[in-house]
Homo-oligomer: A and B are copies of this chain.
Amino acid sequence: MRILEAAVAEEEEGARPILQRREEPLMGRSVGGDVHLTPPSNFGVVDGGIFRSGFPISDNFPFLEALNLRSIVYLCPEPYPAANAEFVRSRGIRLFQFGIEGSREAFATISNHAIMETLGVLLDVRNHPILIHCKRGKHRTGCLVGCFRKLQNWCLSSVHEEYIKFASVKARPSDMKFIEMFDVSCMMQCVLHILYRYHGFGNHTRRLAYQKIS
């Protein structure tokens, strides 16, 4: 995983306190104003503070700005285009790049380690609000969100229903199999690590929901 952005040296609990940023506006800035916002293609809300989409173009930047993003998870191996790199740099958005090949079967054979690392970023509320995207927001993003839903204990058929909603006619059985085979128990250490890092972080910090692990 590469972290590519200007704000990488920012103290983790530094300049932008979580609580202040958690007072997020209803998505999009204005009610009845005259600026039209264009979400990236295949945009969706995954959970409070977690978004997904296809590749953002410059037309989408005002919308992304309205989301008040703290981080972006970018799932393609190609370098970020100059305009996008400048956007994240100028807004102090942390860019986590996990270069996953987009070929038909590649994701089905990706290591659990890469998924775990990506989910670790996604689960850490200090990275929220966060946008996950690949090229079309269907396969790589769909697999990652599918694994996230399994962590949330969604039943598999609901996870697949959501995958299909975003992949539409491009849905791949290999991706759905990958999601099915993803073993959530491998995330336990990561989750414990996050909880550990949060311990004593203040009463007002949002916490991950978790069950006691025996």
Contacts and interface: CB of A to CB of B under 8 A. Distances in A.
B191 A32 contact: yes
Interface in A2-55: 22-33, 35-39, 41-49
Given A29-B211, A31-B187, A45-B44, A36 B153 contact: yes
Copies in the complex: 2
Interface in A157-192: 157-158, 161-162, 165-166, 168, 184-185, 187-188, 191
Contacts of A152: 26-31, 37
16 contacts: A23-B204, A23-B206, A23-B207, A26-B47, A27-B47, A28-B149, A29-B153, A30-B153, A31-B191, A31-B210, A36-B154, A37-B155, A38-B157, A38-B158, A41-B161, A63-B154
Contact of A209 (B28, B49, B209): B28
A117 to B, nearest CB: 16
For chain A, the bracket of interface size reads 35 or more
> Which label, helix, strand, loop or mixed, suits the secondary structure of the A interface?
loop
A208 B27 CA distance: 10
Contact of A30 (B38, B41, B123, B209): B209
Given A26-B47, A32-B187, A45-B45, 17 more contacts: A22-B22, A26-B209, A27-B47, A27-B152, A28-B209, A29-B153, A29-B211, A30-B211, A31-B209, A33-B210, A37-B155, A38-B154, A39-B154, A43-B162, A44-B44, A45-B46, A165-B168
A85 interface: no
B161 A37 contact: no
Nearest to A22: B22
A82 interface: no
A32 B123 contact: no
A151 interface: yes
Contacts of A211: 29-33
A209 to B, nearest CB: 3
A32 B209 contact: no
